[in-house]
Amino acid sequence: MGYLNLMILLQEQAQGGGLSGIIMIVAMIAIFYFFMIRPQSKKQKEIKKARDAMQKGDKVVTAGGIHGKIREIHEDTIIVEISPEVSVKVDKASVYPVAIPQQGK
């Protein structure tokens, strides 16, 4: 009779261990979401909002590090003036607005 009770106890622990393992996996996925995925998607939304707000004359920097001013804005591209009489056509997704530092701080 003692052997049968021991087998039942071991089976119950094995089933409970599986449940706690699933709970740990779900907890790790939740932590990963809140610390990695969610902040990244918020940042992407902010960048998209800033790109949509760009206007002619704004200072920008391309993904390649070229600084300039916006001359024209098209649906998918932007004409950036990098020097007087020198302009380049770049993809809108590779242009970032330049943050203007505030004076007095």
pLDDT confidence tier of residue 20, bands split at 50, 70 and 90 = confident
Calculate the CA 38 to chain-centre distance.
8
pLDDT range class, residue 21, cuts 50, 70, 90? confident
Considering only CA atoms, which of 62, 53, 92, 60 is closest in space to residue 76? 92
Residue 32's pLDDT band, with cuts at 50, 70 and 90, is confident
Nearest partner of 79 among 95, 90, 93, judged by Cα: 90
The CA-to-CA distance between both ends of the chain, in Å, stands at 80
Cα gap 69→62, rounded to integer Å: 11
